Structure 1
Amino acid sequence: MTAQLSPSPKPLTVALAFACDAALLLVFAGLGRSSHARDASVWGLFETAWPFLAGLAIMWLVTRAHRRPLAVLRTGVPLWIGTVALGMALRLLTGSGAALAFVMVATITVAVFLLGWRAIAALVLRLRRRAG
């Protein structure tokens, strides 16, 4: 599934795709914080999310995700793997830790989030093409 709005995506599409990825990582961090009864502050949310947001930003640059922001396989999979790997590395480098259970939950959750919305977008685009 490598659906794309056009051969060269519009800047708005690219911006919305990045914003969606970042927002979903914030949801991931918020869910994690609430499941561990951590404070519900903006700073606390940022403290949990920043390694993954940094990993995401780096991976957007490395993978050139702006070229195919909606592609599940060519963009979504590398973003997912790289975001989790870099996020965990940054957590370890800053002393936050990365227990095996957390790595597993993060890997699965980030996959569902970063790949899931792209798969839904691909399906919607495919249905629109058939209808049009």
Structure 2
Amino acid sequence: MRNGWAAGLDVCSVLVFVGIGRASHDEGLGLVGFAGAAWPFLVGLALGWGVTRAWRGPAVLFPVGVGIWAATLVVGMLLRAVSGQGTAVAFVVVATLFLAAVLLGWRALFDRFSG
């Protein structure tokens, strides 16, 4: 799988997560609010790509996918906390499960059906 497609799937996964979250809390999808909610997770995603050197095998489930998921979640939550955004336990649980489903899910499907 090409890096651009893999990175695009990851970014879209994070943006869908943010969009669903904002819509479910009636926070709207205005650009400023959306960007404010998305940036911590996008930074975590970028760091995950860097740490795992995902460009060498972006569709690999383990360790690449797991590393990207962990970095997206942990860095995203830490940046939310230091920027004064919420990190309620229920939100952390939902984020953990949703991000695992999307960031690991497409990789598991790719692995299953690619060869």
Over the aligned positions, Cα root-mean-square deviation in angstroms equals 1.0
How far, CA to CA, are the matches of 1:118 and 1:107 in structure 2? 16
Distance 2:29 2:53 in 1: 34
CA deviations over 1:22-80 (Å, ceiling 9, x no partner): 01100000000000011221222211111000000011111101111000112111111
* Counterpart contact for 2:40–2:77, Cα < 8 Å: yes
Q: Which letter does structure 2 place at the counterpart of 1:104?
A: V
Q: Tell me what 2:114 maps to.
A: 125
Q: 1:97: how far off?
A: 2.2
The answer for unaligned runs of 5 or more in structure 1 is: 6-12, 127-132
2:13 paired residue number? 24
SS at match of 1:108: helix
Aligned residues: 115
Rg larger in structure:
1
Q: Which residue of 1 aligns with 2:30?
A: 41
Amino acid at match of 1:74: P
Tell me which amino acid in the other structure corresponds to 1:116: G
For residue 78 of structure 2, what is the amino acid of its counterpart? A
Q: Tell me which of 81, 87, 98 is aligned to 1:98.
A: 87
Work out the CA distance in 2 between the residues paired with 1:43 and 1:123: 38
In the alignment, the residues of structure 2 paired with residue 82 and residue 70 of structure 1 have an alpha-carbon distance, to the nearest angstrom, of: 16
| TM-score normalised by length of structure 2 | 0.96
Q: Which has the higher contact order (CA 8 A, sep 6+)?
A: 1
Q: Which runs of 4+ in 1 moved over 3 A?
A: none
Match for 2:71: what amino acid? G
Which residue matches 1:74? Answer: 63
> How far has the Cα of 1:19 moved from its partner?
1.1
The share of aligned pairs that are identical, in percent, is 43
